[in-house]
Amino acid sequence: MSSSSPLTSSSEIPLQETGDVFLCYHDNYIAKSFLLDLNSALSQAGFNVYMNNHSLTTEYQTNFSALEASKTSIIVFSSNFDASTWFLEELEKILECRRTTRQVVMPLFYDVDPSDVRQQKGVFAQNWWFRNNKSRRYRAALSEVANMLGFDVRDSRDESQCINRIVQALTRLIQDKDLFVAKHPVGVIAQVQDVIQLLNNGQPEHTIIVGIWGMNGVGKTTIARATYNQMGFFFEGQSFLENVNEIWNRDGDLSLRQQLLSDIYKPEVLNTTAPSGMEEFRKTLCRKKIFLVLDNLNNLDQLNALCGSHEWFGHGSRIIITTRDRSLLHSLPDDHVYKMKYMDTTQSLELFSWYAFRKSGPIESYASLCQDVVQYCGGWPLALEVIGSFLFGRPAAEWEIVWEKIKTNGNHVVMEKLRTGFDDLQRGEKEIFLKIATLFIGMDKDDVIQTLDYADPDIGIRVLVDKSLVTIDSNNRIGMHTLVRAMGGEIIRQRSIGMAETKMYDVFLSFRGPDSRAKFIAHLGSSLQNAGIHVFKDEDGIRRGDKISESLLEAITQSSISVVVFSRSYANSKWCMMELEKIVEMSRTKGMVVVPVFYEVDPTDVRNQTGDFGKEFDSLISTTEVNEYTKIPTKVYEYKKWIWKTALKEVGNNAGAVVIKSRDENEDVKKIVESVTLLLDKTKLFVADHPVGVESRVQDVIKLLNSQKSKEPLLLGIWGMGGIGKTTIAKAVYNEIHRDFEAKSFLFNVRESWKLDNDKVALQQQLLSDIYKTTKIKIGTIDSGKNILPEILSQKRIFLVIDDVNKEDQLNTLCGNRKWFGERSIIIITTRDKDLLSRLEVDHVYKMKEMDDRESLELFNWHAFKQQIPSNAFTELSRDVVKYCGGLPLALKVIGSFLVNKKSEAVWKSVLEKLKLIPNVEVLEKLRISFDGLSDYDVEDIFLDIAFFFTGMDQEDVIEILKDCGHFPEIGISILVQQSLVTVDRENKIGMHDLLRDMAREIVSKKSKEGSKEPNRLWRYEDVRELPKDTISLYVKGLTLKMPRLESPTCLQTKEFEKMNRLKLLQFAGVKLDGDYKYLSKDLRWLCWHGFPLQFTPKDLHQGSLVALDLQYSYLKQVWREDQLLVKLKILNLSHSQLLRHTPDFSNLPNLEKLILEDCPSLSSVCSTIGQARKIQLINLKDCTGLRELPKSIYTLDSVKTLILSGCTQIDKLEEDIEQMKSLTTLDGDNTAITRVPFAVKMRTPIGSGLLPGDNYPDWLTFNSNSSSVSFEVPQVEGRSLKTIMCIIVYSSSPDNTTTESFEVLLGVINCTKDTKQVYNIDRSLALFDEEEWQSLISNIEPGNKIDVIVGFTNEFIVKETTIYLVYDEPNEEQTNDSHETDENDIVSSGNENLGCNYFDWYNAEVAEKDLIIMKQKRRLEVLTRVSDEQDQQLVEERKKVLEQNERIDEQNQKIVGLESGLDTTMKWMKIWRNCTLVLVMVLMYKMMV
């Protein structure tokens, strides 16, 4: 081409006003044809090109607007340049556009050396321009542009090819054909420039290799892609091999080499298959100047196969290698290593905001939380992206909850990404990493090396540093990224709870078919299968193609143990060697157990590749193939030689079985199977570091499991609150009994897995794989799983544990019903929700027991002191912590571990005080799961109300109060009990674990902070003091303030409560109020003020809305000075008010249901208006020692169920009018002056006489047992004879038979001394059987006789307790006058007691458990026998009626043929019922007591 003609007119070169490309040149004599050809080629490619039409004699003609509108500027440097002012300004403008609009700048060096331009040498040093006052600007601009990547077209043999390359590069740049870098490339440009500078830091003609090194997710690939986009098109060939490690493992090295050559030699150029031989591959590669990125290299084999040395590549090539293992880069003489930088705070916040808010900055209300996230992520891009995306779209109230969970448990995606680096470590390196993560952060490296008890810990730490898992700072201190450390903690946690990966196969069997299958393998495989071991064996010939099958690789990874059968020709099979390579990899990274079997081959030959075995190996290595590209024979497996030799040596050194010229292969196979079985059994689930109290609970569960007598599957639920150890016990039970079943499965943490749809099917698939050991059956959907699982599960006797269930769908999906399972299968479900177990109709529910004090202290000591007993200085503090934890294992472990390094008593006390105010986060999150699972806001409110105000109160009272607050407490409390959040004891008291109470307080506190409002429930003095003063109204539902008793009362101003106008629940203890009570809320439903300081309730205290008024321990003399009409009041409790003299006017309390005046000694009378309280059910006057009598109107109350007079020492009689109290079921008259019992009390059915003698009174001898039988020896009583026998039976019933109208009692009496047996059949309608028969029985009993009494029911009632009284006749009159008080050993039953004097009296079974009849009276026997003549006559008449009834059941008595048959029948009816408890009192007398 000619270069003599200048370009001076627009007619010669077409011009455009604006374009895609701005063409900048500065030489009038530049080759005309080159610019024309370049412009033409760009135009034909569809680009708009702008060429500045300027005359070099006229300055400042550059069209800056066209320059600014262009996407790319091409600057042409030549030897005949003219350094004019316009060119300087044009050059500076181009650089400005590059910085501000990211315009791409491409320099072309036409006939000048790029280094001359960069350093202003040669012709660029001769121009006068560099000697004037603007030379510094000019030099800076030239240096900056010349340092950019461009095209050197000097000495180009083919200008057209050079122009085509330029056009191709621009095409990719302009048309956005670059590799995708990042959705939000925050901070990318700066790091890309750093890498480009390293790539340019050397002679242009030299090959430069740069390694990009850093932990997973830090952005290595992102930076490599961006660098590739900026530089790749300047080279003759480009290739970006992404994720080399994955492709290598999947397809092998050959496919990677083919892809690399295909990228560089395009298909139209490279028509033949790429060379596969290493030498030919290298020779082909070095023909061009290329730009190559090898992404995610993970081992030395990959590096050697793709980038052996600098000489592999053409002059001027640039190679980037990304890896998380710096040691790989050390093995190659790379030119530079770029260590990835973490993002700074500003970059982190911007990136996080893009994903969390879809903009560059956070929303103001989220700013504080965003800062927490950014700090947590530590500048790690992956974590910022994942967590930001996870939080996107969530309301502020939910953010903090989710964020707390992430901080505690981590994010699954983030942890899995980090885990990859850990999994690549050797076993020893893993243990060193975990030790550092938990113990040694911040310590001196040399000190750590001395501490670590491992071989070569220095090397181990060096490996961790190379793999970006650990850092060593300039002070030799060991460091670790926050999230890497969190990952270490999570690994330890998973180990502790046994979350080991479930394998699909027990054993992978590797063998060479031709020389071992017929002789040995078939026998070994079948024996393993017969032992219940699931074996993968390549029976289907899945080895096909040129690379090892993905199915085979998956089978290896999904096996717990590999058995490698080395035979003579094993090492001559490429498939066997590939299997062995993968097996060794799994052994190193995943801890797979490898068992070698040396079949007709010496182990030494395997280890050293000698003998016939070595020859076979050498034969494989020397295998050659003709390269289709070069037509040259190549050794195919040469590069694998050292990998395979190492694998053979490693496995050959393992202990295994040697089978050479065996006389008894059966015995050899048996030993191998036994060895494998033993190894598999070692994979028990981890239970606990310190299994305190586990064994006793495991035995309790196993006892329930063994109770199943039928062949039906048994379902057992383990139920309890979070952190109580349900999973721990389930794992221990699993370890104990799983070997007894054909198949077993333990599905961990179903609640968490259920959150994702894919995981639901995965759980079904895991269950199928565990039981059936197959991958051939695939479950596509949940519904298809419900069809497949029953067919599979029902074929075997299985043991299944489904852990942490919280939804009915989970049970329906994983264990629909009993028909799903084979005979005698056992299914254990752990849950917090008892209702789920009821719906599944489980056979047994094992309620988890909290640890007792001894167990709690021992477990705490192990975690806090690493020993069973605490140091003396911390004994009492340890007991305080144990008391706080309330027997909850999780709290004991977490808090104990937290205190392990705290050696100061002051620190311990501070921690304990803090915990009482701010619960431990880890414990709190575990407990909160149940609360978060409540789907009803009403139930949540009821839980919070109980936690703050109502623990320890009667359930009925709480229900009444909450009802009037607008809640639905019956169903709400039921749900809370089912969810293990609340308990209701036998006395109907509501309870709650202290840590659940603390959790409730924390929930309320956090909600108030989220909403920037006051808490709606207050419980601390500081809360009241810190309430906002400038608010008109405060939404405070309840306030409880209990001050220490030993301190003087706390004084508050009533004015402070004026704004709490919606206060419904108010509880004070040790508090005084000053001011007008009118300021207190008019909406109060419950006022509980212990220690109320006034003598009367203030008139201006509005009480019209009160449902319950509890003023115990008050200074009241009278409740109201002026009576008030309180229509809603149902509960009035003034107990322990020592000064109380008068009861209120009950006519103003029309709906009062409970009156509790216990221990009010100054009370002398009860207002007669009590008779107008027609709805009252409970009157408790216990220990009112000043009370002399009851008003007669009290006897007119037919609504009263319970009347307690015990301790009223001045009350000496009950009126006969008591018969009007038709609902009375409980009458407690213990320790009163009553000497005469109203006849109506004796005769009335549900209540009986109400008086029982004390045990061991001289005339009453007592024998009892907690069963249906009593054995005793009749004593000798001087001066007295046996008059009658009284039998008291306590029994339990179910709701189904509670109201049974007709039932029979079998009473068997055996005189063992005289060998006589008598059986009595007593109907419910019968009051007394034949007196003569009973007289005969009693007369036959003599002192010294051994007697057995056995009782039973015909209708499935269960006898809980049996008591026998031997009643003797009275002594003479003198003896009677000697008063004798009974021992305080009264009969107190949990059932309903019912006593008659000389007849059978049956308790109405419809009365609930709470209506227990406990009739007590301690006084002389003579009181019982003093009955008026009128009463005697009534008793006689009643007795006649009873005898008439007796005649109607003679036929039934005749059916009893003997004691043995009667007793056998009795045992048939013995079945446990767990509901209401009733009491039957039978009095068997021979004659009337006179």
* Residues known to be catalytic: 579
User: 1018 φ, ψ to 5°?
Assistant: -115, 140
User: 653 φ, ψ to 5°?
Assistant: -85, -10
Angle formed at CA 1427 by CA 1421 and CA 1431, multiple of 5 degrees: 150
Q: If you ran DSSP here, which 8-state letter would residue 1423 be given?
A: H
Contact 1063, 1017 (CB under 8 A): no
AA letter at 1294: S
Give 523: exposed, middle or buried? Use CB within 10 Å, 0-12, 13-18, 19+: middle
Q: Which residues in 1324-1373 belong to E strands, given as ranges?
A: 1346-1353, 1358-1368
> Taking Cα atoms as reference points, which of 122, 198, 116, 120 lies closest to residue 152?
116
> Taking Cα atoms as reference points, which of 108, 49, 30 lies closest to residue 75?
108
Query: In 3-state terms, what secondary structure has residue 1262?
Result: strand
Give, for 975, the enclosing helix (H) or strand (E): helix 969-978
Please give the Cα distance from 1159 to 1178 (Å, whole number). Answer: 16
What are the b/e assignments for 721-743, b being 16+ CB within 10 Å?
bbbbbbbbbbbbbbbbbbeebeb
Sheet holding 318-323, edge to edge: 237-241, 290-297, 318-323, 208-213, 336-339
Structure-token match 């495991």, residue found: 698
Give, for 1205, the enclosing helix (H) or strand (E): none
> Taking Cα atoms as reference points, which of 847, 870, 846 lies closest to residue 858?
870
CB-based contacts of 663, cutoff 8 Å, min separation 6: none
Q: 1482: which 2 tokens?
A: 């039978």
- One DSSP character per residue, 1268-1305 reads SEEEEEPPP-TT--EEEEEEEEEEE--TTTTT-S--EE
What are the b/e assignments for 46-76, b being 16+ CB within 10 Å?
ebbbbbbebeeeeeeebbeebbbbbbbbbbb
Please give the Cα distance from 132 to 1369 (Å, whole number). Answer: 141
Query: In 3-state terms, what secondary structure has residue 1366?
Result: strand
Please give the Cα distance from 1329 to 755 (Å, whole number). Answer: 67
Contact 30, 40 (CB under 8 A): no
Q: 864: which 2 tokens?
A: 């806090």
Q: 865: which 2 tokens?
A: 């002191």
AA letter at 129: W
Contact 335, 226 (CB under 8 A): no
Please give the Cα distance from 314 to 642 (Å, whole number). Answer: 29
780-to-744, 757, 795, 812, 1017 alpha-carbon distances in Å: 22, 11, 22, 17, 49
What are the b/e assignments for 360-391, b being 16+ CB within 10 Å?
eebeeebeebbeebbebbbbbbbbbbbbbebb
Please give the Cα distance from 1136 to 1116 (Å, whole number). Answer: 10
Q: 1276: which 2 tokens?
A: 């000798």
Contact 981, 950 (CB under 8 A): no
